[in-house]
Structure 1
Amino acid sequence: MSTQNNESTAAGNVDDAFQLYDLRIEVVCPPGEPILCGAKQGDYFTLEGEMLYLPPGQGFSIYSLGAVLPLLAAKQRETHPNDWMSTDAEVACPDPHCKSRLKITRTGKRTFRHGEVTAVPLGG
């Protein structure tokens, strides 16, 4: 299957498929260091398309979420191998006294269709 937007299919229809990475965002901290945001080592959430999922019974600091959220849409997409977004995977905790980090890992790819995620037509 082609992942090129606007590519014609054999039936003459437009292939509006595109792919995004699923992400896992996990709390990591040097051994013995306190985590000040209420998280525990290994706490995580996942991002699948636009949907964020937390494991049952686990919370996540809104301040930590605020630190990592602006990067997630870019991490979901293909990036050039030389782009820092391709190589850098850890975001510092927003509390300057906390040594924890949020590690972003690409876990797989998921295919979406333009027509299923927006009302705006391709080329429009």
Structure 2
Amino acid sequence: MEKKEERGFWLYDLRVETVLDGRTPVCRHVEGDSFRVIGEALVFEKETRLSMFALASVLPLLAAKQRETDADDWMTTDAEVACPDPHCGGRLRIVREGKRWFSHAATTGLPDQRGTPYWKEEK
């Protein structure tokens, strides 16, 4: 929860899921396989597997998808990223879920502004 005296920001939690929509994959894409993005962490369910090439195609977009964007920005409206293999029908769909508050002090690396890392704080 946001604290008035504390500087910080909101990030969306994300779910990144494999979708085929009838397309044939070449790479290892299994419809419904997914992982979550919570803060800076990629969270995989046990035994979930994802092509490293497909992951590489979606990674640069995740930090931007976590942030609030204008309703008409393509980052808000476009959600699917194609597998980089031009012959593969696999897609990764990025879905914004709930929002989470991060304090500046819990996420900075600057020594004079540092607090307890957010992932060590008690919930």
The TM-score normalised by the length of structure 2 is 0.83
Three-state SS of the structure 2 residue aligned to 1:108 is strand
Aligned twin of 1:84: 74
Aligned to 2:20: 29
Give the Cα separation in 2 of the matches to 1:117 and 1:30: 38
Mapped partners of 2:6, 2:43: distance in 1:
29
Output one character per residue of 1:16-42: Cα deviation in whole Å (capped at 9) or x when no partner.
Answer: 1211000000110122x3222212001
Contact kept, 8 Å, 2:57 with 2:81, in 1: the verdict is: yes
The number of equivalent residue pairs is 112
Q: Work out the CA distance in 2 between the residues paired with 1:26 and 1:73.
A: 16
Which structure has greater helix proportion? 2
Identity value in percent = 49
Give 1:96's match in structure 2, choosing from 71, 86, 90. Answer: 86
**In the TM superposition, what is the alpha-carbon distance from 1:107 to its structure 2 partner?**
0.8
Distance, in Å, in 2 between the alignment partners of 1:2 and 1:29 is 38
Q: Which runs of 5+ in 1 are unaligned?
A: 4-8
1:78-121 alpha-carbon deviations (Å, 9 max, x no partner): 00111110100001111111112110000110111111111323
The answer (yes or no) to whether the contact 2:2–2:101 under 8 Å persists in 1 is no
Q: Aligned residue for 1:15?
A: 6
Q: Secondary structure at the match of 1:21?
A: strand
For the pair shown, the structure with the greater C-alpha radius of gyration is 1
Aligned to 1:112: 102
Segments of 5+ residues of structure 2 without an aligned counterpart are: 115-123
Q: Compute the RMSD of aligned alpha carbons.
A: 1.8
Q: Secondary structure at the match of 1:71?
A: helix
Give the 3 Å change call, closer, same or farther, for CA 55–2 of structure 1 in structure 2.
closer
